[in-house]
A and B are shown apart, each in its own frame.
Chain A
Amino acid sequence: MQVPRFWREIPRYYRLEAAACVQCDAIHFPPRKICPSCGANAFETVRLSGRGALTTFTIIRTPPSGFTDQAPYAVGIVELDEGVRLMAQITDCDVDTLKTGDRMIAKFRRIREEGRTGVIMYGYKFVPDVGV
Chain B
Amino acid sequence: MVGIVGYGTQIPRYRIRVEDIASVWGADAPSYKRGLNLNEKSVPGPDEDTATLSVNAARNALLRAGIDPQLIGAVYVGSESHPYAVKPTGTIVSEALGACPRVHTADLEFACKAGTEGLFIALHEVQSGVITHALAIGADTSQGAPGDALEYSAAAGAAAFIVGSEDLIAELLTTDVYMTDTADFWRREHTPYPEHGGRFTGVPAYFRHVTGAAKAIMDRAEMAPEDFDYCIFHQPNGKFPVQVARKLGFTEEQWAPGLLSPTLGNTYSGSSPMGLAATLDVANPGAHILLVSYGSGAGSDAFIFRTTERLSDVRDRAPHTRTQLDEYRVHIPYGTYAKFRRKILKAE
Contacts and interface: CB of A to CB of B under 8 A. Distances in A.
B63 to A, nearest CB: 11
A108 B324 contact: no
A69 B45 contact: no
Contacts of B52: 107-110, 122
Given A15-B96, A92-B45, A131 B319 contact: yes
B160 to A, nearest CB: 12
Main DSSP-derived SS at the A contact region = mixed
B13 interface: yes
Nearest to B55: A108
Interface string B88-105: 000010011110000000
B48 interface: yes
B327 interface: yes
A1 interface: no
A41 interface: no
Contacts of B328: 130, 132
A28 interface: no
A63 to B, nearest CB: 11
B345 A122 contact: no
B249 interface: no
Given A68-B348, A120-B84, A132-B323, 9 more contacts: A68-B346, A70-B47, A92-B13, A92-B45, A110-B48, A120-B51, A122-B96, A125-B47, A131-B323
Interface of B: 13, 45-49, 51-52, 55-56, 59, 83-84, 92, 95-98, 319, 323-324, 327-328, 330, 339, 345-346, 348
A91 interface: yes
Contact of A65 (B56, B84, B345, B348): B348
By CB atoms of chain B within 10 A, which of A15, A92, A131, A132 has the most? A132
Interface of A: 10, 14-15, 47, 65, 68-70, 91-92, 94, 107-111, 120, 122, 125, 127, 130-132
A69 B323 CA distance: 29
A92 B328 CA distance: 10
A111 B306 CA distance: 40
A10 B346 contact: no
Contact of A110 (B47, B96, B97, B323): B47
Contacts of B49: 110, 120
A71 to B, nearest CB: 9
Contacts of A10: 95
Contact of B47 (A14, A65, A109): A109
A75 to B, nearest CB: 13
A91 B47 contact: yes
A15 to B, nearest CB: 6
A69 B346 contact: yes
Contacts of A65: 348
B305 to A, nearest CB: 25
10 contacts: A68-B348, A69-B339, A70-B47, A91-B47, A109-B47, A110-B47, A122-B55, A122-B96, A132-B319, A132-B324
Nearest to B83: A120
Contacts of A108: 51-52, 55-56, 59, 96
B348 to A, nearest CB: 6
Nearest 5 interchain pairs by C-beta: A108-B55, A132-B328, A109-B47, A14-B96, A110-B47
A108 B96 CA distance: 8
